[in-house]
Amino acid sequence: MPHINRLTMAATLLIPLMGHHFTAASVRAGEPKLSPVQVRHVIDSHFSQRTDYRPADLITRDDTKKVLAMLSAAGWIVPQSRKLTEATLAPESILVRTLSTKNGKRFMRRVAKEHLIYDRLDRVARVSGGPALLRDLVKLPDGYRYAKMHRPRAVPGLLELLPKTGSGKRRTIKDYDKPTGRIYTEKDLAKQLALLQKQKKG
């Protein structure tokens, strides 16, 4: 039911947009300007059409491309579109492929509310032994416990589960607890688009 309501609401706000005719000159000039509410509903319109999708799920480069194309059709050619697209993970990336499986989705939805969870998982996926660790972790019924930042002492974290270095030391990852600057979720994409809107007005 929430999925249907979201789709209906997005469609209702998009109908007035699609009824306008935009000239090439006006689109290039950034006119007409879409309001933050209109941009938000373009985003909702896209994601409401994705099957088996929840708002905190990991999104892909394809999602960003489609949202940007919809915004362009509605009258706003988003500046830095290429940068936004490249900041989103490609569909073939390790993390996307791992979290797209049945087990991966179950794992993802147990950890999605964890602060910077996708940033940390992305960093792990890019180091030696990381892809294999993630593939094994999502198969465990309680695999989500190891991905949390705050765990019982007896529960090891992702860094502790990675293969040790050649010298037998525990693996470390630079800036592990910091944002990567990439776009991982619908919320991240909406935030970046909102920032671009503010810059435009300024």
DSSP letter string, 71-103:
HHHHT---TTHHHHHHTBPPTTSHHHHHHTSHH
Q: Residue 201: what pLDDT?
A: 62
| Domain shared by 110 and 79, yes or no | no
| Domain shared by 111 and 71, yes or no | no
| Domain shared by 147 and 117, yes or no | yes
Q: Per the domain annotation, does 102 fall within a domain?
A: yes
| Domain shared by 7 and 65, yes or no | yes
| Domain shared by 80 and 132, yes or no | no
Q: Per the domain annotation, does 131 fall within a domain?
A: yes
Q: Residue 18: what pLDDT?
A: 46
Q: Domain count for the chain, please give it.
A: 2
| Domain shared by 84 and 101, yes or no | no
| Domain shared by 68 and 6, yes or no | yes
The residue assigned the tokens 């999602």 is: 63
Mean pLDDT by 10 residues, the chain (202 residues): 50 46 43 80 96 96 97 92 97 98 98 97 97 97 95 94 89 95 98 88 58
Whether residue 182 contacts residue 119, with contact meaning beta carbons closer than 8 Å, is answered with yes
| Domain shared by 77 and 99, yes or no | no
| Domain shared by 10 and 83, yes or no | yes
| Domain shared by 134 and 59, yes or no | no
Q: Per the domain annotation, does 113 fall within a domain?
A: yes
Exposure on the CB side of residue 159, measured as CA atoms within 13 A: 12
Say how many Å lie between the first and final Cα of the chain, rounded: 40
Q: Per the domain annotation, does 168 fall within a domain?
A: no
Kindly report the pTM of this predicted structure: 0.83
| Domain shared by 130 and 113, yes or no | yes
Q: Residue 3: what pLDDT?
A: 52
Q: Which residues of 154-188 are buried (b: 16+ CB within 10 A; e: fewer)?
A: eeebbeebbeeeeeeeebeeeebeeeeeebbbbeb
Q: Per the domain annotation, does 7 fall within a domain?
A: yes
Euclidean distance between CA atoms 17 and 149, whole angstroms: 43
DSSP annotation of 60: -
Q: Per the domain annotation, does 157 fall within a domain?
A: yes
Q: Residue 34: what pLDDT?
A: 87
Q: Which residue range is the domain that position 111 belongs to?
A: 94-161
Q: Per the domain annotation, does 38 fall within a domain?
A: yes
Amino acid identity of residue 202, one-letter, is G
Q: Per the domain annotation, does 175 fall within a domain?
A: no
| Domain shared by 6 and 83, yes or no | yes
Whether residue 71 contacts residue 124, with contact meaning beta carbons closer than 8 Å, is answered with no
Q: Residue 54: what pLDDT?
A: 96
Q: Residue 176: what pLDDT?
A: 96
